[in-house]
Amino acid sequence: MQFTGAFTALVTPFKNGVVDEERYRELIEWQIEQGINGVVPCGTTGESATLSHEEHREVIRICVDQAKKRVPVLAGAGSNNTKEAIDLTRFAKEAGADGALLITPYYNKPTQEGLYQHFKAIAAEVDMPFILYNVPGRTGTNMLPCTLARLFKDIPQVKGVKEATANLTQVSDIIEQCGPDFQVLSGDDFTVLPLLSLGGCGVISVVSNIIPDKMAGLCKAFKDGDIATARKLHFDMQGLCRAMFIETNPIPVKTSLAMMGKISLEMRLPLVPLMEQNEKTLRSCLQSKGLL
C-alpha cells in the first residue's frame, strides 16, 4: 500500500457531547469529492486524546464505511501504552483500515531503544502497514533517522513516517538513511513543498480539512513536474496554514469548518473556543480566501 499525496487529518465533529456521525460522514464525502488522496481518522486533529476507546473504534468504523475503499484510510491507532496501541491497531485492521498511523509514545519519553521495542511489539501482534508518527512538540520525544532506518529494515509492517518536526535536515537524513522506498509524509502544512522536493511522498494535513482540493492539487502538480503550479499553491495556502495554528490545533480548524457550515462548533475540554480577537482574525482570513 502506497500512502502518497494529500491525506486529511480529519477533525471529529461532536454534537451535544457525542460524535456527530451525520456530519462526519458528510465531511468525509466532501473530502473525497474535492479530490483528497486519503483520510486519517483519530489523529491529533481528530482529538483522539479525549475520545473513549469505544468512540475511537466508532470513528474508525464510520470512516472506513464512508470511504468505501475509494481512498485509503490510515487510522490513528497509537498510544503511550504499548498494549493499548496493540489493541487499537488490531481493531483498525479488523475494521478494514488500509494502514495504521502510530504515534511515538507520549509523556513516557522512551529512549530510542524503547521506541524500537514499542513498534516491534505492535508488529508482532498485527500485520498491516504502519506509518509511524514523529511529533516531538506533542510527545516530548524525537524519533531519530537511525531508529527509523532500523525499524524499516527489521519490521516489514513499517512503511514510512509522518514527520512533523518541520526540520528539513532531519527529513533529508531520514530519506538518505532509509532509502527511496521509505514513505515520508509531511506532518507540517508549512513545509509540504520542500519535503516533496527532498523525496517525500505527501502530507497528512490539517489545512486540507478546509481546502482539500488545493493541498491535493499541490501534491499532484509536484508529481506531474509542474513546479510553478505547486509553488503557487504553496504560497496561496500559507496564510491559511498560519491561521490553522493561531491557537492549539484543532481549535482553529474546527472553528473554520463551523464557520463554513460543515460541523457544529464543539470541542472537548481541555480545548476551548478561540479567543475573540483570534476568531476575528480567522474569519477575515477565510473571507479573504473565498471560503465564507
DSSP letters for 56-106: HHHHHHHHHHHHTTSS-BEEE---SSHHHHHHHHHHHHHHT-SEEEEEPPP
Which band of pLDDT confidence, cut at 50, 70 and 90, is reported for residue 270? very high
How much is the average pLDDT of 163-174? 97
Q: What 8-state DSSP symbol labels residue 274? A: P
Q: Considering the candidates 133, 159, 214, 254, report the single residue annotated as catalytic.
A: 133
Distance from the first to the final alpha carbon of the chain = 37
Q: Which three cell numbers stand for residue 94?
A: 479488523
With a cut of 90, say whether residue 1 has pLDDT above it: no
- Does the annotation count 289 as an active-site position? no
Q: Which three cell numbers stand for residue 92?
A: 483498525
Closest CA to 39 of 69, 19, 14, 18: 69
Q: Which tens digit of pLDDT belongs to each residue from 67-99?
A: 999 999 999 999 999 999 999 999 999 999 999
- Does the annotation count 162 as an active-site position? yes
